[in-house]
Amino acid sequence: MANFDELLNRYDELSRNLMNSMKDGKKFIVVTHIDADGLCSGAMTFVALARRGATVSGRTVPDLDPKTIEVLREERYDFYIFTDLGSTLVSELALALDNRFLVLDHHELPEVSARNPAVVNAWQYGYDGGTEACSSTMAYYFARALDYSNRDLAYLSVVGAVADRQDVGEGRSLTGLNGKALEEAQSSGLLTVSKDLLFYGRETRPLHEAIASSSSPFIKGLSGSKDAALAALIKAGIRMKESAKWRTLAELSSEEKKKVTEVVASFLAPAGGGGAEVIGALIGDIYTLGMEDAFTPLRDAREFATLLNSCGRMGKPGLGLSICVGDRSDSLREGMRLLSEYRAEINKSVQGILSDSGRVEIREDFAFVTGDDLVDEKLLGPVTSILASAPQFKDRVIVARTKSGESELKISSRVGDSHNREVNLGVMMREAAEKMGGVGGGHMMAAGAKIPLSRGPDFAKTVLERAGV
Ligand code: C5P
């Protein structure tokens, strides 16, 4: 059972202990993951320490591994805080850094890590770290323990939670610890929640493009075709432009949105029957950051999350951190440029896989995808997530690989959107990777690993054995 009070007490105790080191001018570093949840949690932790007057640096890493830990140790900080990573490498951290570190995380962790007092992980407090508590929410309550005025950071918890696809409560709501942080963000007036059409790009994309980009659900006749979407909307009498500018979903009246729903419904259930469930999935909770400018990707939490992912995955995670800590000028402009490059790059990788059957090997309900020399390792995670809703993969478990440097393989795995067999990818990736001399971990539905290049075939074999296939 979830134990919120115990978590808050633990954070109070930690913050009292750390406060003295901050006053003594000790050197802190916050090390975080490059994805959106990592950037939000790292930024919140960084800001909370800086506001307390600590001497603090920030660092982002694509993965934590023994080599990176060694580099960090050699830099000789007085205290290390890891956010969104570290839970599976606690023994290595303890060996390198003694008791000068803290891990704030939500990934599933082995028993031996859970017992270590340097680890504060959602699972230890009865929260499901895959659906109820993202790393940003874990960092938020730490920041709030350092100073109650850090409540103004709560909206970043919501961005982190939707980024990690934790909006899986009824009607795409946030639950558990994320739900609590969401309430705090709402009561501070930072964010509003409304029920609306979920098409991605509600603040920034022309309506027909937002609809045409829908892959989950896949709308036969509209998905992938801007022209068809535009024609259908015009036929339904929707005014598509405001002066010379395309209108976005966020600008439509409720009457117009009703019409849009009817148009989409007619494609999802052409004979007039069934499809109610799929149509229901088009509508859900929308998280709007009212203090951000309209028509920017920062106003909608899901678009904000993608912007941050694009910074992290296109090699500019520092830019993502700047945006999280409040930079809205040059960083935002540069972030938006990266966002369009990111979309184009992901699209190229996804199409490359979908159009080349030689890259896919099906073994019962598993699909092994080879992205070598096509997919950049930093984009493998998002590409695999998109494949998880493609018609040919949605009933399977996808295990995708691509080369990482000369001698390693990066692995990303996802449970397809309609797959219904019980699997725990986090445990599977961790155990299979360790057997190959690599590292792995993650959540039930999304996990990853890094293994030696030569062990690729053995890794796939081990995964199948563990799944009983
Ligand atoms: O890299 P990818 O997006 O596929 O990772 C999926 C999830 O697995 C992420 O939450 C990531 O942090 C986690 N992961 C992990 N340990 C690894 C690799 C990935 O916990 N070695």
Amino acid 274: pLDDT: 53
Give me ligand 1 centre to Cα 438, in Å.
13
Ligand 1 pocket: which of 31, 63, 375, 459 to mutate (most atoms within 8 A of CB): 63
Amino acid 223: pLDDT: 86
pLDDT at 72 over 90: yes
**Residues 29-55: pLDDT tens digits?**
999 999 999 999 999 999 999 999 999
Query: Which residue's structure tokens are 């309430």?
Result: 183
Two tokens, residue 368: 């092994």
Residue ranges around ligand 1 (CB below 6 Å):
33, 63, 107, 381, 412, 439-443, 446-450
**Interstrand relation of 27-33 and 55-61 (parallel, antiparallel or unpaired):** parallel
Give me ligand 1 centre to Cα 181, in Å.
23
What does residue 442 show for φ and ψ, rounded to 5 degrees?
135, -145
Query: What is the average pLDDT value for the chain, to the nearest integer?
Result: 94
Query: Cα separation of 372 and 71, whole Å?
Result: 28
Largest separation between any pair of C-alpha atoms in the chain: 71
Closest CA to 368 of 377, 359, 376: 359
Look at residue 33 and give its three-state secondary structure: strand
Give me ligand 1 centre to Cα 366, in Å.
19
pLDDT at 272 over 60: no
Helices (H), 314-356: 317-324, 330-354
Beta strands in 122-247 (DSSP E): 192-197, 241-242, 245-246
- The predicted model scores a pTM of 0.92
Give me ligand 1 centre to Cα 138, in Å.
17
Query: 172: number of CA atoms within 13 Å, CB side?
Result: 22
Which ligand 1 atom lies nearest to the CA of residue 381? 3
Confidence of residue 418 (pLDDT cuts 50, 70, 90): confident
**Residues 235-254: pLDDT tens digits?**
999 999 999 999 999 999 99
Which ligand 1 atom lies nearest to the CA of residue 438? 21
Beta strands in 204-309 (DSSP E): 241-242, 245-246, 283-288
Give me ligand 1 centre to Cα 100, in Å.
25
- CATH class label, 4-187: alpha beta
Cis before residue 452, ω within 30 degrees of 0?
A: no
What does residue 297 show for φ and ψ, rounded to 5 degrees?
-70, -5
Amino acid 43: pLDDT: 98
- CATH class label, 356-466: alpha beta
Q: Ligand 1, atom 10: nearest CA belongs to which residue?
A: 442
Give me ligand 1 centre to Cα 166, in Å.
15
Query: Which residue's structure tokens are 């739900």?
Result: 179
Is residue 90 within 8 A of residue 118, CB to CB? The reply is yes
